[in-house]
C-alpha cells in the first residue's frame, strides 16, 4: 500500500516577488519539514509542470530541482497540460509499486503572471489541437462551446452555471492560501464581462502562480513515524481525442468517465462513500460535467442540482465539492493544481482543513483534467 504522509502548498496568486524555482523550493522545503525528512531520505522526485519550456525557456527543470535539493536521485518531469500534477502523482505511484520501501516527493508548480496575457494564453493553447489553435480557439472558447451545447440540450441558462462560482468563492474565503478570498453573488457572476459566450470572467479560473508538494511512501517505517497518513486507494489516468470535433458526446468528458470508473473499481468503494471531492472547475461548466461524468449526479441533472447547493460546505450535504475554493477561487497554477487537489483531500481526511473541515471525512476524490478533456486523472484517498 502507498501512503500520502504530508502536504505543503505555497499561496496561490500573483506572486510577483517569486520565481518558478523560488516557489518549487518553498513547496519542497515545506513538505520535507512537515514530514521531518531530510533530502537524502527522498528516493525520487516527480515534477508536474506545463509551461516552463515555453515561458521560461527551460525544459531541464529536473536538474534544477536536483541542484536545489543537492541530490543525485532520479527526477522526472511530467507534462500533460493542466493535468500535469495529477499525472506526476500517478507516475510516482507506479514507481513505488515497482520499488519497495521508497519515499518519493511529488511537486507541481507554475509561474504564469510574469508574462503578458498573450504569451501565457498562447502557451496554454498549446494543449489544444493544431486545428483548434489555427481557428483562433482558446480554452475559454472550447469550454464555451461545451457550455452552449449543455445548456441548450438540458434547457438551462447562465444562471445555473453561476452557482458553481458562488459556491467555490465562498470556499475560497475559508482557505488562507487561495488566490481569491472574497464571496460573490450570482448577480455579480451574471453581470461580469463575457470571455466567450456564455462563459464570463466570473465563470473562469484565473491565471495564477504557485507550487504544491506531497510526500508518498510505501516504507512502513516512515509511515509509523508520521503524525498523519492516508492510503492511496486508486490513481487512474485516461485519455481522449484532443479535438472537440472528434468527440462522440460534447456534453461529457469521456476521459473523466473512464478514469473515474477505473478508480472506483480499484478502490473498491461506492460513489456514495466519497465525502469530499476536488474537481477541475477551470470553468463553471467543467464542474457540472465532472459531477455527472463521475457518477455523483445523473446525466443532465447537474444544472438543476447545483442550485440546491448541497455540495457547499456548511449546508449538510453528504458530498462537499472544492473545499479549497477549486480552481475558480483557490487559483490555477496549472502544474500545481493536481497536487493541490490531492493535498486538500489529505487535509480533509486527516482533520487539518481548519475553517473548512468536513466532519468524519473518510474517503476523498480528486479529478484533474488536461486541456478540454484530452487527459483526466482520478485519484481516491482513504483513511
Residues designated catalytic: 82, 332
215 has which bridge partners?
Answer: 6, 105
Helix/strand/coil for 283: strand
Task: Give the closest residue to 213 by CA, choosing from 17, 18, 14, 34.
Answer: 34
CA dihedral of 8, 14, 19, 23, whole degrees rounded to 10: 0
Phi, psi of 252 (to 5 degrees): -150, 155
Q: Is residue 342 a contact partner of residue 87, using CB atoms and an 8 Å limit?
A: no
Helix/strand/coil for 381: strand
Phi, psi of 212 (to 5 degrees): -135, 150
Quick one: cell of 130? 493544431
Helix (H) or strand (E) segment spanning residue 167: helix 158-172
**Residue 13 DSSP one-character state:** B
**CA gap 181, 170 in Å, rounded:** 8
**CA gap 62, 65 in Å, rounded:** 5
Quick one: cell of 334? 496549472
Task: Give the closest residue to 15 by CA, choosing from 177, 229, 248.
Answer: 177
Question: Residues for the chain: how many in total?
Answer: 383
**CA gap 148, 135 in Å, rounded:** 18
CB burial of 206-216 (b: ≥16 within 10 Å; e: otherwise) equals: bbbbbbbbbbb
For every residue of 48-63, DSSP letters joined together read E-SSIIIII--S-HHH
Amino acid at each position: 500500500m502507498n501512503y500520502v504522509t504530508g502536504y505543503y502548498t505555497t499561496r496561490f496568486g500573483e506572486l510577483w516577488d517569486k520565481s518558478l524555482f523560488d516557489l518549487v523550493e518553498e513547496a519542497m522545503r515545506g513538505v520535507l519539514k512537515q514530514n521531518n525528512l531530510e533530502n537524502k531520505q527522498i528516493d525520487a522526485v516527480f515534477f508536474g509542470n506545463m509551461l516552463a519550456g515555453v515561458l521560461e525557456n527551460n525544459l531541464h527543470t529536473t536538474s534544477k530541482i536536483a541542484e536545489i535539493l543537492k541530490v543525485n536521485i532520479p527526477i522526472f518531469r511530467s507534462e500533460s497540460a493542466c493535468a500535469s500534477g495529477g499525472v506526476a502523482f500517478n507516475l510516482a505511484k507506479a514507481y513505488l509499486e515497482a520499488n519497495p520501501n521508497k519515499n518519493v516527493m511529488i511537486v507541481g508548480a507554475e509561474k504564469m503572471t510574469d508574462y503578458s496575457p498573450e504569451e501565457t494564453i498562447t502557451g496554454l493553447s498549446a494543449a489544444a489541437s493544431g486545428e483548434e489553435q489555427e481557428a483562433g480557439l482558446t480554452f475559454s472558447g472550447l469550454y464555451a462551446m461545451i457550455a452552449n451545447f449543455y445548456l441548450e440540450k438540458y434547457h438551462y441558462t447562465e444562471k445555473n452555471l453561476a452557482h458553481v462560482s458562488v459556491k467555490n468563492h465562498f470556499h475560497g474565503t475559508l482557505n488562507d492560501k487561495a488566490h481569491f478570498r472574497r464571496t460573490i453573488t450570482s448577480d455579480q457572476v451574471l453581470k461580469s464581462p463575457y470571455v466567450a459566450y456564455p462563459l464570463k470572467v466570473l465563470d473562469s479560473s484565473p491565471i495564477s502562480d504557485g507550487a504544491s508538494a506531497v510526500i508518498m511512501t510505501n516504507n512502513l517505517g516512515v509511515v509509523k513515524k508520521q503524525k498523519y497518513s492516508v492510503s492511496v486507494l486508486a490513481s487512474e489516468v485516461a485519455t481522449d481525442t484532443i479535438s472537440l470535433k472528434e468527440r462522440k458526446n460534447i456534453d461529457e468528458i469521456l476521459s473523466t468517465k473512464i478514469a473515474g470508473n477505473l478508480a472506483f473499481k480499484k478502490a473498491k468503494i461506492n460513489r456514495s462513500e466519497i465525502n469530499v471531492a476536488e474537481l477541475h472547475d477551470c470553468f463553471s461548466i467543467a464542474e457540472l460535467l465532472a459531477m455527472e461524468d463521475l457518477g455523483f449526479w445523473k446525466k443532465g441533472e447537474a444544472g438543476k442540482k447545483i442550485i440546491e447547493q448541497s455540495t457547499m460546505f456548511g449546508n449538510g450535504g453528504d458530498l462537499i465539492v472544492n473545499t479549497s475554493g477549486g480552481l475558480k477561487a483557490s487559483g490555477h497554477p496549472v502544474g500545481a493544481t493536481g497536487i493541490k487537489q490531492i493535498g486538500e483531500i489529505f487535509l480533509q481526511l486527516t482533520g487539518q482543513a481548519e475553517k473548512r473541515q468536513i466532519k468524519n471525512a473518510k474517503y476523498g476524490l480528486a479529478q484533474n483534467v488536461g486541456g478540454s478533456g484530452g487527459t483526466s486523472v482520478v485519484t481516491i484517498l482513504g483513511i
